[in-house]
Amino acid sequence: MSHDKEKKGSSSETNASVNNISVTNRQLNVRPFQINENRTETASGWEKWLRNIERQFRYFGITDPEMKKDGLIIYGGQIIADLEDTLLDATGDEAAEDAYAQLIIKLNKHFLPKKNKDFARFQFGNLKQNHSESLVRYYTRIREIAKKCSFSNESEAIRDHLIKTMTNNVVRIKAIRKNWTLDQILEEAELDEETRTQAKEMEKKVNSDETIKQVQNYQQQRPSSQIFREQSTSSTREKTTNPCNCCGYDRAHKQCPAMGSLCNA
């Protein structure tokens, strides 16, 4: 029995060791953050970079605020490390947040410009769907601008704008008639676009098969006299000219090199 306990204990220690190794060897695939000369580009780049590293935090199960803070500084590079040291610490209610949240607040204040709600709503109102753009992709563009508009009901605002500006009139009519939600509109639009794409592929195949069939029917229905004339014409073209009496070569009389010369024989 004691021997079995020793084996079980050894097994538990081994499993714990393996788990520790798997946790210790986690390595994020994140490049250091780079600042752009354009402040708007820097803000957009920071949001994308932050989403990427937080996605990897979730994937690797990193939830401890201190570990996330250290990971952000280490993988963010020297720029983030310097800002963490120099930017003012959070105060008031923000100071009650955990270490990671406080760092994010500081960095967001530094990188992200203050939101201009009026200008964002102006941009939102002028958005239109491009001719070759899917409704899902168009929705993504609308959603990015809507985040800056401070709408009381963001989904409702996006839904209304989609109905007003979408190029698919079939989906628009259904959405108005059935009072669809935003999710229902997107689902129907995606299904409609996929069906149209499949129908076009089927139409191309049918047209291609019909063209081949017409050519085959034409060749089969040609009268034998026409085929004979075509063959005779081809045979005549291939027939060589008669030999020249002066030089003996197969060429026209006017092209004879001996034409106009005196015979010395």
Count the alpha carbons within 13 Å of 69 in the hemisphere toward its beta carbon: 16
Query: What confidence score (pLDDT) does residue 248 get?
Result: 62
Query: What confidence score (pLDDT) does residue 250 get?
Result: 61
Q: What's the Cα-to-Cα distance from 216 to each of 6, 222, 247, rounded to whole Å? A: 84, 10, 49
3-state secondary structure at position 264: coil
Give the global pTM. Answer: 0.43
Query: What confidence score (pLDDT) does residue 241 get?
Result: 54
Digitized pLDDT (tens) for each residue of the chain, 265 residues in all: 545 544 444 444 444 333 333 344 568 889 999 998 888 789 889 999 999 999 999 999 999 999 999 999 999 999 999 999 999 887 777 777 899 999 999 999 898 877 678 888 999 999 999 988 999 999 999 998 998 888 889 999 999 999 999 999 999 999 999 999 999 999 999 998 888 888 878 877 777 766 676 666 666 666 655 555 655 555 554 444 566 666 666 655 566 666 666 655 5
Query: What confidence score (pLDDT) does residue 14 get?
Result: 42
Q: Per the structure block, which two tokens stand in for 112?
A: 């992200």
CA distance 80 to 35: 10
Q: What's the Cα-to-Cα distance from 172 to each of 134, 142, 168, 181, rounded to whole Å? A: 14, 17, 6, 12
